[in-house]
Amino acid sequence: MKPTPFLLILSLLVLTACNESSSSAAKEEGTKAPPARELAAADVLVAKVAPLADTLAFTGTLNALDSSTVAAEVEAVVREVAVREGERVRRGQLLARLDNETLAQSVAEQEAQLANSRARLGLARVKRDKQRELYDRGFISRLAFEEVESDFQVRVGELKAQEAQLARARKSLGDTRLSAPIDGVVYQRAINPGELAQRNTPLFRIADLSVLELAASVPARLVGKLHVGQHARFSVEGLAEEFDAELVRLNPVAAGGTRSFTVYLRVANRDGRLSAGQFAKGGIVLNEVVDAVSLPLAALHDLGGKPWVLLLEHGRIVKRPVSVRLLAEGAGRVAVAGVKPGETLLAANLLGVNPGDAVTLAGAR
């Protein structure tokens, strides 16, 4: 059957409509927005207010601020040792006792000799007073009176010398009792009962650990940033927490050959957590901010002195200018104004992510 003109026209209309529909679909497909980029949890962070300090790093060793060595003042055999290494002692507490029998006898002898000297002085005084009376009445010559007066003065000198000898004997007797000169911890004991204590030989070493001192070296180019009263924080091996210190002294003379200066930090140690000799590592606080959002340096962008960050708002990347309140390069962080706590930011510069891009989050930290 031969197609009619009507059927041919109808077929052409259907074919044209199909072609237009395919062209429109292809055009819509070509102009469709690219899909949102998914960010990993490590790519973003949530802004938080956190204290931030710019510090000058240091290392050093903790030392006792106050220590003392106890030595024997007399040579004698040790009769008793009352303390051991590591024990705490109070000022005046007995450490050891030396044999005092010989010295006690010496004190008794000196006391007896002092009594004799006093008796001789008393007799010389009576004679002088009587001779003075006779001299005043003209019964004896001046020379005779001066001889009696001279004898009296000799007796006075003898008494003073005897008193001094007795004082020395009593001191030597007292020196047989060795006591702690300060509050602290016995960290060295070098004597045992029965041994002979030599004169001026150190027998005990005591350290007061309630206050420690830390000496640290600072490069000459940085010493101008320091002053007495600055706060510092440090840690020691074996303990997880940080400890506080205060800068109390600066040596004004550089160490020979190093061109560095020594600074001294005072550390309160009333709880006894720290020990002398521990290695410390920390930083002296040069500047500190406690009420600003703290970010890693990688999250901050700065072109031409105009810092900014990239935030996530309503599924898109937004560029926002900020101002820097504190830059702590040593800590790798920066405190900024212009970001609110709880806002989500890019943690670092991501290749291919630009302001205005649509993103989705796999997670946030």
Say if residues 343 and 322 touch (Cβ distance below 8 Å): no
Q: Which of 154, 149, 147, 155 is nearest to 116 (CA)?
A: 155
| The predicted structure's pLDDT at residue 35 | 79
Q: Using 50, 70 and 90 to split pLDDT, how confident is the model at 364?
A: very low
The domains of the chain are located at 37-50+291-361, 57-64+208-288, 100-175
Q: Which of 48, 34, 36, 39 is nearest to 348 (CA)?
A: 39
Poorest-confidence range of 31-40, 79-88, 114-123, 211-220?
31-40
Query: Residue 72 has what DSSP assignment?
Result: -
Quote the percentage of the chain above a pLDDT of 90.
Answer: 61
Regarding predicted confidence, which is higher, 40 or 179?
179
Cα four-point dihedral sign 91, 93, 97, 100: positive
CA–chain centroid gap for 138, Å, is 83
Cα four-point dihedral sign 50, 56, 62, 64: negative
Q: Which of 332, 253, 308, 351 is nearest to 37 (CA)?
A: 351
Q: Which of 267, 208, 197, 199 is nearest to 235 (CA)?
A: 267
Say if residues 216 and 267 touch (Cβ distance below 8 Å): no
Regarding predicted confidence, which is higher, 259 or 339?
339
- What is the mean pLDDT of the segment spanning 273-289? 93
| The predicted structure's pLDDT at residue 303 | 66
pLDDT for 93-120, tens place per residue?
A: 999 999 988 888 888 998 999 999 999 9
- What is the mean pLDDT of the segment spanning 156-178? 91
Long-range contact set of residues 319-328: C-beta below 8 Å, sequence gap at least 24: 319/355, 324/300, 325/289, 325/292, 326/52, 326/54, 326/287, 326/288, 326/289, 326/292, 327/54, 327/297, 328/52, 328/53, 328/54, 328/55
Say if residues 267 and 318 touch (Cβ distance below 8 Å): no
Phi, psi of 332 (to 5 degrees): 70, 30
Dihedral through CA 346, CA 348, CA 351, CA 355, nearest 10? 40
Q: Using 50, 70 and 90 to split pLDDT, how confident is the model at 8?
A: very low
Identify the bridge partners of residue 296 per DSSP, sorted by sequence position. Answer: 333
Which residues, 6+ apart, have CB-to-CB distance to 116 below 8 Å? none
| The predicted structure's pLDDT at residue 103 | 84
| The predicted structure's pLDDT at residue 293 | 94
> Quick one: tokens of 266?
């005072």
Q: What is the CA radius of gyration of the chain?
A: 46
Say if residues 286 and 54 touch (Cβ distance below 8 Å): yes
Poorest-confidence range of 45-49, 195-199, 220-224?
220-224
Indicate whether this model's pTM tops 0.85: no
Residue 78 has, within 13 A of its CA and on its CB side, a CA count of 21
| The predicted structure's pLDDT at residue 343 | 93
- What is the mean pLDDT of the segment spanning 236-265? 90
According to CATH, the superfamily of the domain at 100-175 is Helix hairpin bin (1.10.287.470)
Q: Using 50, 70 and 90 to split pLDDT, how confident is the model at 31?
A: low
Asked whether residue 11 carries a pLDDT value surpassing 80, the answer given is no
Pairing mode, strands 231-236 and 76-81: unpaired
State how far the alpha carbon of 161 is from the alpha carbons of 51, 56, 123, 154, 216, in Å.
71, 63, 18, 11, 53
pLDDT for 168-187, tens place per residue?
A: 888 888 888 999 999 999 99
| The predicted structure's pLDDT at residue 12 | 47
Mean pLDDT taken over the chain: 87
pLDDT for 51-98, tens place per residue?
A: 999 999 999 999 999 999 999 999 999 999 999 999 999 999 999 999
What is the residue whose two structure tokens read 């237009």? 20
Is there a shared CATH topology between the 37-50+291-361 domain and the 57-64+208-288 domain? no
| Of the options 2.40.30.170, 3.30.70.20, 3.60.110.10, 3.40.50.720, the CATH number for the domain spanning 57-64+208-288 | 2.40.30.170
- Fold of domain 37-50+291-361: 2.40.420
CA–chain centroid gap for 353, Å, is 46
Asked whether residue 29 carries a pLDDT value surpassing 90, the answer given is no
| The predicted structure's pLDDT at residue 19 | 54
